[in-house]
């Protein structure tokens, strides 16, 4: 059986599973559509949350960014994991105790203001649409390679699949679909990693293999894997893999991801699906366990993939000969078809040179040898995890499995984001502001129409993303950090915070961050460009757009505090409500108060 047929069979079976679950768990009420009837077991919810969380950015893109940047991109791991700790300790149980369906509903009721509710809806839509672009991009990459279609057609197929099970099942269907998707993606991620770790180091545990010695038959055998990789890269003029960047910028980016994680609406609503307040905290704990299975493996996947790619291009080291065109491995040819990988023999010597052509040392060597630049001209980092089994020459069934896993990762998060968007529009705008008298059936129809519209918008934007999946997602985290996180924190822990302060703070954080992003990216106005690939020396204080979230959060907190101090206190019943939400004895059955 050829590889394409095997891919189609495995991916097709996974789709059949998702559709079957969606039909079985079809939402029949708004409670089931928004919160799965609040009957989800915390372990099940933890697994679904992990799938909701481990998106295309985690599965497809993160290891690729770590592979090509090295240690400094470990900030993705630290920020995303730390954010879950914040969420478990500071937000999840209190928001569940409040007993609402959506984040804007909490903000609207806590701040006794439809204006605050509408601003929260706007923030949620901007955050979720930005986030879902990365998922659709990742799904398009996976489909384009493994089903051998263009990335555009791959994106359209992904949109059609998520349309069927998300619109039909709502939160109830999505929850159980995400459990299945987690099982698919974690198996798909770890099996290739185990094989590759065994090949390179003889250690079956990738996380330990990362710090093990190279095994017999490999470049640098007997020396630690990371030492070998550092040596290969510095020989080619690149920075050592284990070299970090500015501690200040790494800390800022980690903080942006942490507080952005804690403010993500599509993750927060998962904690509204459990029966009790205590279950919300347990759900967050279980989610961390399930997430750790992938996150402890990702650094090894990135390092080992970079090592394999480098030794593929330079089988005898940089002082020997680069790989001949006719000796390029089969996976090069298959990925070139997608347009995401490309080589060009610029000097016509029949070989492909891969090196840092901006390094002075390598420029001198290139002049001596007649090279005319790096000839690996295109390597989309989002392909690395998906190509890893082929790079390591693993069996065909492993390649098919990673195809199903990559697609599952993208679709699971896309579904959660689309549900957050549709719930905000149907429940918080239509039901709460525009037409309070709408029937439950009418609200359910509005929710499904809203989700369909969100899918169309996400597909269109996914055709021209501003960067790789993980980079695009990082922008969404900055927006969440600047707008929703401070408002949620103040709503839970400050009785004095009123509607005027919260609304002004949200607007300040959101507008300031959006202005910064558009000033240095402006990608909505330049279709087809990847602005995140540009390095700008004129960033404000050198802060890249992906790192700006904490600055926006500080603006939010400061404006909210100042405005609340010069305006009236919240009504007494709101202050009593805030006090009751924080009381620990709420670990029993949740109320709707």
Q: For residue range 457-483, what is the model confidence (pLDDT) as tens digits?
A: 878 877 766 554 555 677 888 899 999
Residue 259 and residue 83 in contact, taking contact as beta carbons nearer than 8 Å: yes
pLDDT for 80 equals 79
Distance of CA 478 to the CA centre of its chain: 13
Provide the pairing of β-strand 323-324 with 351-352: antiparallel
Higher-pLDDT residue of 68, 482? 482
Among 58, 19, 10, 3, which Cα is nearest to 186's? 58
pTM of the model: 0.77
Alpha-carbon distances, residue 301 vs 196, 294, 487 (angstroms): 8, 10, 37
What pLDDT was estimated at residue 443?
82
d(CA 108, CA 423): 14
Given a cut of 70, whether residue 169 has pLDDT beyond it is no
Mean local confidence (pLDDT), 112-120: 93
pLDDT level of residue 586 (50, 70, 90 thresholds): very low
Q: What is the mean pLDDT of residues 54-76?
A: 77
Mean pLDDT of the chain: 82
Better-scored residue on pLDDT, 122 or 101: 122
| Interatomic CA distance for residues 48 and 270, integer angstroms | 8
Residues 117, 504 contacting (CB under 8 angstroms) = no
Residue 546 has pLDDT above 60, yes or no: yes
Report residue 33 as tokens.
Answer: 């559509």
CA 454, 264, 289, 303 torsion-angle sign: positive
CA nearest 546: which of 1, 179, 117, 72? 72
Q: Is the pLDDT of residue 535 over 60?
A: no
CB count within 10 Å of CB 349 equals 17
Neighbours of 304 (CB within 10 A): 27
Cα–Cα distance for residue pair 68/240, rounded to 1 Å: 11
DSSP symbols for 325-366: GGGS-HHHHHHHTTTSEE---TT-SSEE--S-TT-HHHHHHH
With bands split at pLDDT 50, 70 and 90, how would you rate the model's confidence at 502?
very high
Residue 149: helix, strand or coil by DSSP? Answer: coil
> Mean pLDDT throughout 488-504?
94
Q: How confident is residue 336, by pLDDT bands cut at 50, 70 and 90?
A: confident
Segment 513-532, tens digit of pLDDT: 988 887 776 544 344 444 44
Give the count of alpha carbons within 13 A of 257, CB side only: 24
The residues, ordered by sequence, that sit 6+ positions from 482 with a Cβ below 8 Å of its Cβ are 509, 510, 512, 513, 548, 549, 551, 552, 553, 555, 556
pLDDT of 593: 39
**Helix pair angle (247-262, 549-565), 10° resolution:** 60
Residues 6+ apart with CB under 8 A from 459: 136, 155, 156, 159
SS3 215: coil
The string of pLDDT tens digits covering residues 481-495 is 999 999 999 999 999
CA–CA distance from 543 to each of 127, 341, 412, 529 (Å)?
A: 20, 30, 32, 21
Is residue 114 pLDDT above 60, yes or no?
yes
pLDDT of residue 37: 64
Task: Output phi, psi for 240, to 5 deg.
Answer: -60, 145
Report the range out of 15-24, 338-347, 386-395, 480-489 with the highest average pLDDT: 480-489
Residue-level pLDDT at 29: 66
Mean predicted confidence (pLDDT) in 347-369: 90
Q: Which pLDDT score is estimated for 88? A: 78
Domain boundaries, the chain: 3-305+388-432+440-587
State mean pLDDT over 498-507. Answer: 96
For 435-459, letters b (16+ CB in 10 Å) and e give: eeebeeeebbebbbebbeebbebbb
Residue 464 has a pLDDT of 67
Please determine, for residue 160, whether its predicted confidence score (pLDDT) is greater than 60: yes
- Rg over CA atoms, the chain: 24
Q: What average pLDDT does range 271-294 have in this prediction?
A: 84
Check residue 56 and give its pLDDT.
Answer: 66
Tell how strand 378-379 and strand 341-342 pair up.
Answer: antiparallel
Residue range 411-470, pLDDT digits in tens: 777 777 787 888 888 888 888 888 888 888 888 888 888 888 888 887 887 776 655 455
Q: What is the DSSP letter of 569?
A: P
Q: What is the largest CA-CA distance in the chain?
A: 80
| Residue 281 token pair | 């905290």
- What pLDDT was estimated at residue 389? 82
pLDDT digits (tens, 9 = 90+) for 177-231: 788 878 888 888 888 899 899 999 999 999 999 999 988 777 777 889 999 999 9
The residue-averaged pLDDT of 293-303 equals: 89
Q: Which of 284, 248, 274 is nearest to 83 (CA)?
A: 284
| Choice among 21-25, 115-119, 183-187, 237-241 with the minimum mean pLDDT | 21-25
φ/ψ of residue 224, rounded to 5 = -55, 145
* CATH superfamily of this structure's domain 3-305+388-432+440-587: Sodium/glucose cotransporter (1.20.1730.10)
Would the pLDDT of 31 be above 70?
no
Question: What is the distance in angstroms between the CA of the first residue and the CA of the last residue of the chain?
Answer: 59
């Amino acid at each position: 059986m050829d590889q394409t047929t095997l891919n189609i069979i495995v991916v097709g079976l996974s789709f059949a599973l998702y559709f079957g679950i969606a039909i079985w768990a079809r939402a029949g009420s708004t409670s089931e559509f928004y919160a799965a009837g609040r009957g989800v077991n915390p372990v099940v919810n933890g697994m679904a949350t992990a799938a909701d969380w481990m998106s295309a950015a985690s599965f497809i893109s993160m290891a690729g960014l770590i592979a090509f940047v090295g240690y400094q991109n470990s900030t993705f791991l630290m920020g995303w994991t730390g954010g879950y700790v914040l969420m478990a300790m500071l937000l999840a149980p209190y928001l569940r105790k409040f007993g609402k369906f959506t984040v804007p509903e909490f903000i609207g009721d806590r701040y006794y203001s439809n204006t605050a509710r509408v601003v929260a809806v706007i923030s949620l839509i901007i955050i979720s649409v930005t986030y879902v672009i990365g998922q659709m991009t990742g799904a398009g990459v996976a489909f384009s390679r493994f089903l051998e279609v263009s990335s555009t057609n791959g994106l359209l197929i992904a949109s059609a699949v998520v349309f069927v099970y998300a619109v039909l099942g709502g939160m109830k269907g999505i929850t159980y679909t995400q459990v299945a998707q987690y099982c698919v993606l974690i198996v798909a991620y770890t099996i290739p990693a185990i094989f590759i770790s065994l090949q390179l180091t003889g250690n079956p545990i990738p996380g330990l293999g990362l710090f093990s010695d190279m095994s017999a038959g490999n470049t640098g055998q007997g020396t630690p894997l990371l030492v070998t990789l550092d040596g290969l890269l510095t020989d080619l003029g690149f920075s050592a893999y284990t070299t970090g960047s500015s501690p200040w910028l790494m800390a800022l980016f980690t903080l942006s991801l942490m507080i952005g994680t804690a403010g993500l609406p599509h993750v927060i609503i998962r904690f509204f699906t459990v029966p009790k307040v205590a279950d919300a905290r347990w759900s967050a704990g279980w989610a961390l366990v399930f997430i750790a299975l992938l996150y402890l493996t990702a650094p090894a996947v990135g390092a080992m993939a970079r090592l394999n790619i480098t030794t593929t291009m330079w089988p005898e080291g940089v002082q020997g000969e680069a790989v001949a065109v006719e000796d390029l491995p089969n996976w090069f040819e298959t990925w070139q078809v997608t347009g995401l990988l490309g080589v060009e023999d610029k000097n016509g010597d029949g070989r492909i040179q891969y090196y840092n052509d901006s390094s002075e040392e390598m420029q001198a060597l290139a002049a001596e040898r007649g090279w005319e630049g790096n000839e690996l001209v295109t390597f989309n980092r989002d392909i690395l995890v998906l190509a890893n089994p082929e790079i390591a020459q693993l069996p065909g069934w492993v390649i098919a499995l990673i195809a199903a896993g990559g697609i599952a990762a993208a679709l699971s998060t896309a579904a959660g984001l689309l549900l957050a968007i549709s719930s905000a529009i149907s429940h918080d705008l239509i039901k709460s502001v525009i037409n309070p008298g709408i029937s439950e059936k009418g609200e359910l129809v509005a929710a499904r129409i809203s989700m369909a519209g969100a899918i169309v918008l996400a597909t269109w934007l996914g055709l021209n993303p501003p960067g790789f999946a993980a980079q695009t997602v990082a922008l969404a985290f900055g927006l969440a950090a600047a707008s929703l996180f401070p408002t949620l924190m103040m709503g839970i822990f400050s009785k004095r915070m009123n509607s005027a302060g919260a609304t002004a703070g949200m607007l300040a954080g959101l507008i300031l961050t959006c202005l910064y992003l558009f000033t240095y990216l402006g990608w909505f106005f330049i279709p087809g460009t990847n602005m995140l690939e540009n390095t700008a020396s004129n960033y404000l204080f050198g802060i890249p757009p992906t790192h700006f979230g904490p600055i926006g959060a500080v603006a939010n907190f400061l404006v909210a505090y100042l405005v609340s101090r010069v305006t009236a206190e919240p009504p007494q019943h709101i202050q009593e409500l805030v006090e009751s939400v924080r009381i620990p004895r709420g670990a029993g059955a949740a109320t709707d108060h």
